[in-house]
Amino acid sequence: MRLKRTACIAAIAAMATAGLAACGNGDDNNSKGDGGSGGGKIKGKVGIILPDTKSSVRWENFDLPVLTQEFKQAGIPADIQNAEGDKQRMQTIADQMITNGVTILAIVNLDSASGAQIETKAKQQGVQTIDYDRLTLGGSADYYVSFDGTQVGRVQGQGLQKCLGDKKSNIVYLDGSPTDNNATLFKNGAHEVLDKVTNYTKVAEQAVPDWDNQKAATIFEQMYTQQKGKIDGVYAANDGLGQAAISILNKNGQAGKVPVTGQDATPQGLQNILDGTQCMTVYKPNKQEADGLVKVVTALAKGEKPQTNGTAEDPTGKRQVPSILLQPIGIFKDNVKQVITDGGVKASDVCKGSYAAKCKAAGIQ
Ligand code: BGC
C-alpha cells in the first residue's frame, strides 16, 4: 500500500509496527490488480454497507467515492450501498449482497444489536465479516478497521483546551449517538483530557440520538436556556453537532465567542473554523481508512491472514478484535490547509463565495 506523502506521515506512527505503511510519490502500486500484497489469486467480491446519509456528510461525500476508487484500483469487485439509517434495510441489503455472491461483508453498523445479527447471518452462509469504522459490540466480525476512537476524543479535548485556555469555564458536552461505540470512545477520550483541568466545570452532557443534527440543536438550546447562556465551551462530537450548537449560539449573538469542537473535517466544519465560529475539527483521512479495508479484504480474498496493528476491545462479547487502528489529526485555523493539500476535501468545496478571501488569508489557494 502506498499512501500520499502527507497521509503517510500520520499513518506511519500507527502502522509502522505492522509494516503496513509505505511512503512514496503518491502513486498506487496496485495497478496489476493484485491488491499489493503479493501471493495468491483474489477470489470473491466484497460488499460494503454504509450507515446513513444524515449523521455526517462523510459517508456519501468521502467514504463512498474513496472506497469505490480504492477497490477499483485494487482490482476487487465491490458493491457499496447505504442503509439510509434503516436497520431493517441494512439487513435486506446484506441478504441481497450475499445472494449476489459477496464473500466478504463490511458494515458500519446502525447499532450493535442489528450489526451483530447481520454478522451472525453472514457467518452462517460462509461470509467473512469486517467492522468498518464502528465496532459491533457482541458481534462476530473477523476484523475491525477504524481510527483510534479514544485518541479522537483526546484530540478534541486538547483542542477545546487550546481554544479556551485554562481560565474558569463552564463546559457542555454534545456526545454522539448512544448506540455508536465510537461515541463512547470519543467522549471517554475528551473527558480524560478535560476532567483534569480543575478550572473547567461540566454543566451539562447529553448524547444525541442517531447523531441527529436537528435533535442536537434542540438539546443544545435547552442546555443554553437552562444555563442562562453561561456556557464557555462546547464539546461537540462531530461537525454536524458542532454546527447545531453554532446555529443556536449565533441566534444568541454568541457564535465565535464560545469555542466549539467537531470531527470529520467537512467543508462546513472547515468553513466554520475559517469564520472563527468553530475551534477545531478532527481529520481522519478517508483514504487511509479505505486503504486499511482494501488491505484486509485483499488478504482474506487470497486466503491469507491480514496484517493488523492492534486489537479493539469488545466488552460485550468479551473478546479482542484484531484491528487496523489509525491516528486522527487535529485541525485548527492554522492547518486547515493540510486537509486540502492531503486531498481530504477539495478547495473548491470550501473556498466558495465569501470564503475565497478567508481561504487566501489561511494560505489556501
Ligand atoms: C464516525 C464519525 C461520524 C459519526 C456520525 C462515527 O461512528 O466515526 O466519523 O461523524 O459516526 O456518522
Give SS3 for 46.
strand
Average pLDDT, the chain: 91
Q: Tell me the per-residue pLDDT of 117-137, one tens digit each, with 9 for 90 and over.
A: 999 999 999 999 999 999 999
Quote the CA–CA distance of 193 and 159 in Å, as a whole number: 10
Instruction: Please state whether 135 falls in left (phi above 0), alpha (psi between -120 and 50) or beta.
Output: beta
Question: What atom in ligand 1 is closest to the CA of residue 240?
Answer: 10
pLDDT at res. 39: 58
Task: Tell me the CA–centroid distance for residue 56 and ligand 1, in Å.
Answer: 7
Q: Tell me the per-residue pLDDT of 232-270, one tens digit each, with 9 for 90 and over.
A: 999 999 999 999 999 999 999 999 999 999 999 999 999
The rounded radius of gyration (Å) of the Cα atoms in the chain is 20
Residue percentage of the chain with pLDDT more than 70 = 89
CA-based angle 291:149:244, to the nearest 5?
105
Question: 309-314, long-range: CB within 8 Å, 24+ apart, which pairs?
Answer: 309/14, 309/15, 309/17, 309/18, 309/20, 312/135, 312/144, 312/146, 314/135, 314/136, 314/137, 314/138, 314/139
Task: Tell me the CA–centroid distance for residue 58 and ligand 1, in Å.
Answer: 8
Identify residue 230 by its one-letter amino acid code: K
What element of type H or E holds 268? helix 267-275
Q: Tell me the per-residue pLDDT of 136-194, one tens digit each, with 9 for 90 and over.
A: 999 999 999 999 999 999 999 999 999 999 999 999 999 999 999 999 999 999 999 99
The least confident of 5-19, 201-215, 310-324 is: 5-19
Give yes or no for residue 29 having a pLDDT over 90.
no
63, 155, 182: residue to mutate for ligand 1 pocket, most atoms within 8 A of CB: 182
pLDDT at res. 41: 77
Is the Cβ atom of 56 under 6 angstroms away from ligand 1?
A: yes
Q: Tell me the per-residue pLDDT of 64-77, one tens digit each, with 9 for 90 and over.
A: 999 999 999 999 99
Question: What atom in ligand 1 is closest to the CA of residue 211?
Answer: 5
